[in-house]
Amino acid sequence: MIKDILFASEEEVNPLYFAGRVILFIVILIFGLRYIFSPIDPEYFSESWMYFFLHYINLPFHEAGHIIFSFFGEFMTTLGGSLMQILIPIILLVIFLYRGNAYASSIMLWWTGQSFIDLAPYIDDARAQRLILIGGITGEDVPGIHDWNNILGAMGLLKHDHTIALISFFSGKTLIILSFIWGIIILYHQYKRLA
């Protein structure tokens, strides 16, 4: 049952759709490998158009999370940005699985991993607060504006910012690798069913 859900495929796969899925897989493979072999350094991320582009895809969900979770108090308002950034691809993963589109779910798993990696430099910067935020300011410029300084400070974990960032970073890498494996298996099953 679970296998049927995780590796669902059409009875007859349209060759054009299959070709599009293969191209998409190659694109996320290239992007994903660059993420997997990148350092956690925020400057490295800010110098690459690829990281910047994907960061700006995540950013509206991050900012919306602050608003959505504002109903649950100040701590959740702050955490809500990062939480929403992770939840959106997970929610879409579940929706695609429910609709029988396992391949799209594997792409959403990739996005979830990318979101964890995207958050890692922000978490890593919690004590230093030198990362440039929206509006071109840093946490040093405007005290109290840095989400992860506030989150980890409230939890008494500020001195562990680098360790927590590494956990986020390696979680993201693991999810991306799992998405590759999942996607390849699905594409293989679809290849065998080409019309």
Domain count, the chain: 1
Q: What DSSP letter does each residue of the chain carry, written as one string?
A: -HHHHHT---SSB-HHHHHHHHHHHHHHHHHHHHHHTS-S-HHHHHT-HHHHHHHHHHHHHHHHHHHHGGGG-HHHHHHHHHHHHHHHHHHHHHHHHHTT-HHHHHHHHHHHHHHHHHHHHHHHTTTT--S--TTS--TTTSTT--HHHHHHHHHT-GGGHHHHHHHHHHHHHHHHHHHHHHHHHHHHHHHHTB-
- 30-34, 78-82, 164-168: least confidently modelled range: 30-34
Mean pLDDT of 9-38: 93
φ, ψ for residue 194 (rounded to 5)?
-60, 135
Q: State the average pLDDT over residues 82-95.
A: 98
Q: Can you state the angle between helices 74-98 and 49-68, rounded to 10 degrees?
A: 110
Enter the pTM of the model: 0.93
Confidence of residue 10 (pLDDT cuts 50, 70, 90): confident
The whole-number pLDDT of residue 5 equals 85
In this structure, of 35-44, 66-75, 122-131, the range with the lowest mean pLDDT score is: 35-44
pLDDT digit string, tens, across residues 180-191: 999 999 999 999
pLDDT digits (tens, 9 = 90+) for 96-154: 999 999 999 999 999 999 999 999 999 999 999 998 888 888 888 898 999 999 999 99
Instruction: Tell me what pLDDT residue 50 has.
Output: 66
The rounded Cα 99 to chain-centroid distance in angstroms is 22
Instruction: Examine the pLDDT at 170 and tell me if it is beyond 80.
Output: yes
Structure-model confidence comparison of residues 138 and 47, the more confident one: 138
pLDDT for 195 beyond 70:
no
For residue 23, what are the domain limits? 2-192
What does the alpha-carbon distance between residue 177 and residue 183 come to, in Å, rounded to a whole number? Answer: 10
Share of the chain above pLDDT 70, in %: 95
Looking at residues 32-41, what average pLDDT do you find? 89
